[in-house]
Structure 1
Amino acid sequence: MHSFWIIFKQAFMTKAKTKSFIITTVIVAAAFFLMANLPNIIEAFQGSEEEENVLHVMDESGDLTEALQQQLQAAGSDMQAMPTDLTEEELKEGITDGSIEAYLVLEQNEQLSARYVSESANEMNSGADIEQAVQSLQTALTAETMGLDAAEVSQLFQPAAFEREAVSESSKSQEELSQARGLVYILIMLIYIAVIYYPNMIAMEVANEKSSRVMEILISSVSPVKHMFAKIAGIGTLGILQMLVFGLSGYVAIKTAGTDLSEGAFSVFGFSDVKISTFLFAVLFFLLGYFLYAVLAALLGSLVSRTEDVQQLMLPMMFLIIIASFIAFSGIGVPEAGFVTVSSFIPFFAPLVMFLRVGMLDIPLWEPLLSIAIMLATIGILGWFGARVYRGGVLMYGSSQSLKDIRKAIRLGENK
């Protein structure tokens, strides 16, 4: 057992001290703080917005600008509509030299018409707010012409009460889905990255030891099977530590940000009232997914003698992960679909797809437990088979770019 912990420590420390691991960890952690403070950074670069929020209005009647400002305020816009005495040519010159952001021309004949002029057609946000305010102003003017008071107009445009109700017992309410969707999406991304990055790290480490002939020294004092599982455990522990650093960085970044991240783009990621079981299943499927693909990666890594051959031999495993991610991400919108349900019990897809169903649906407990049992059985079988391949694979040298070498590795391991 002492030799197991020596290899475990060596695998952990060797990768933890690499520049690529340290730089990746620092960059990702810094990215969380950058994203959390992005609104403040944008605001700092934009400088004062007072002039940007002024909308110059050409209004011949002189009565429409004030009414437009009321509609803008009612819509929650911070745009300030102000009448102007400048000619249209002077306003266009102001846009060209940057002193004016945009202007609006209002005319009222039989109906209200408006023309919004800005430097670029890409300025969609402010233009959309103004268009909505002009439309509301047109409605108010029409209602006034028809003799309708404010209460009658409000009643006319009051939206109908509309609720969504699902018959399926496993379906959650719309509010619950909104709260779970963001967390499920992020955790699926983490599991996806983990089962690609860390098993690939194991395969590269094994191939590197073989190419440098260090493997010959190691297996003279430690059994290949113990060496394989020590590598898997060491790099797996490093992966868990890195994920904890990412999670802690993200949490601290959100809590210390000077902006309200519950609004805007972050409103899609609803983290409130998420069940503890969702987090527990995330950790469980993360570990199971890692060990499943890590054993497969160690098996494949033992077949090659050069690190250049690793990626080619790892392609079948990569395809499995990519297919699982496609199913999971497409299933976020339709978690009750038949193809999602079936694939959640396939061991190589289950870490992503079954977790998706656990997070998005109220499924019976036996379903994730059955999926976990299938994964554990698969890990056991793959571990037994992988150990047989690994025992002979680490002794194979020369060009190896085919899965046919698995049979050769098994025979070599049995004769050892």
Structure 2
Amino acid sequence: MARKRFLLLGAAALLTVSACDFIRFPGDGGPPPTTPDAGPAVPPGAPGPPPPGAPVTDPYGTGDQPTDPGTDTPDTDPADTDTSTDTPDAVTPDADAPDTDTPDTDTPDADTPADIPTDTPADTPTDTPDDSTDTADTDTTPPADTPDPVEPPAPVEPTFSFYGPGALLPGTGEGAPEDMIFSPDMVFPIKDSPAYLQSMVFTFGGGMVGGDQCDERNFEYPWRDNFCETRTSNRNSAYCPISKIHQGQDIRVGTPASCRSERSTAAADREAHEVVAVEDGIISNVGSYSVNLRSGGRIYKYLHLNMKRLSVSIGDTVQAGDTIGYVSNDFGGTPTVLHLHFEITQNNGNGGWDYVPPYTSLVAAYERRENGPGELIDDGDVAIASVPAFVIPEGVEIIE
């Protein structure tokens, strides 16, 4: 057991010796160790002197004194100075040892508060200018290429005026105030001449008023409805409040001058004002003073044309806008004024045909023809009241 302990101690001693550069022992021939200012030499193998109790200013006895305790003094020991003229190999310092000989020239630590600038220089540009606070950068002058404001279009002037549906002349009957457009896509029946919707019986030259049919007052706006106007014959419509009515709309055509010219022209030669088909269809009937155009569930009836100058015959197929004939005053053996009487009858689904108000369909078609709106006279009732009411004498026959 004692031998085993001896071997372990020996091994520990060998490990200690191997960690040293060399081993000193008495009689090795080396110089006796000395300690400056410490008295006689320490015997070989004896422990060194105890550490001083106060700081030593010159521990190596070189006589050098540091001038600033806070300043690192490089080691100038001549024994450590390499007097060789060869370029020394670069020595990599120990990463674990602090560098006390070389001043710290590394980039300052970015985390050190004292090294972080707190103020932004005045001339440092900002990445995104704040337009809301930077008044110097605000330009109140509009760009040169900014277009001028677009002015709203001027209101379109009405091309004609008209009273509302059912607004008959006072004393001439009870109208049908029907706003429905029964034929919304039809063409106006007069190709291009000026047209005036009004009564032919209760205006100048008519049978109830007298005067000249070419009076200038007959060729003025506004238009006036005369569907449901009083008649002597037993004619009716589901849309009229009374029986014995006018079943269509009278249309005066042209100007006072053209009226006088047509009146002086032989009836068979009158062709100043062209009448056209209002829809695609078939000529279903030609009478002594009328022409019927059938288009689907409607029949359009034209009266008082120049029957000697018709452009169609029964069974002809026509397109909207095709010529049918010319305005005149044919009425069999009974005279009437120069005008077109226009009717619309509509299939009621029960095997019958109803006369429907044509006034609103004619207003819409004329707006399309004239490419402009009509002006509705809102005070139509006031205008009607200002006209003396007609008194139809007892027993007078009122015809077209």
TM superposition score category, shorter chain reference? under 0.3
Q: Which has the higher contact order (CA 8 A, sep 6+)?
A: 1
The structure with the largest alpha-carbon Rg is 2
Structure with higher strand content:
2
Structure with higher helix content:
1
